[in-house]
């Protein structure tokens, strides 16, 4: 599913640039994605669109997020730490944080892999028509093992 999401992010600038589900399904299948993978991704994107609509106009007031034990188990320590890092850096306001948590919670299994969480964060920005700044994009795309320390 995450490969489909990355493909959509790289291919379409905004969600409204995507064709309807039927046409998009055909296009994704012609590129080589499996039917189940496409169906999962499109269902996940429908949930993302619903979350984006419900957060439109929500103020970015400061808030403290307390994770339930179930959320802690599902998200995992690394993912919660990364969400906290983005919040403290001022790039993930509370409404977007809640969208990230909602969409991460929609992923079966757990804990959520950090690389998968980064894709979720990227897709939340994408769904709202926002582009994270260059440093955050670097954080989302570059694997820690591949980073050069200057």
pLDDT-derived band at 147 (thresholds 50, 70, 90) equals very low
Q: Could you tell me the pTM of the whole model?
A: 0.82
DSSP state of 57: T
Return the residue matching tokens 């919660």.
80
What 3-state DSSP class applies to 148? Answer: coil
Read off the pLDDT of residues 15-71 as tens digits, 9 standing for 90 and up: 888 889 899 999 999 999 999 999 999 999 999 988 888 765 555 556 788 999 999
């Amino acid at each position: 599913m995450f490969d489909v999401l990355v493909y959509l992010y790289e291919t379409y600038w905004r969600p409204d640039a995507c064709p309807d589900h039927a046409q998009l399904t055909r296009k994704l299948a012609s590129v080589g994605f499996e039917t189940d993978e496409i169906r999962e991704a499109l269902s996940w994107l429908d949930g993302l669109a619903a979350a984006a609509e419900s957060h439109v106009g929500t103020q970015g007031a400061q808030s403290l997020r307390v994770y339930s034990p179930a959320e802690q188990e599902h998200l995992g320590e690394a993912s919660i730490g990364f969400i906290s890092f983005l919040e403290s850096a001022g790039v993930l306001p509370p409404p977007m944080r809640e969208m990230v948590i909602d969409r991460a919670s929609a992923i079966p299994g757990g804990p959520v892999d950090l690389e998968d969480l980064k894709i979720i964060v990227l897709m939340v920005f994408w769904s709202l028509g926002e582009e994270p700044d260059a440093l955050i994009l670097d954080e989302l795309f570059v694997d820690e093992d591949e980073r050069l320390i200057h």
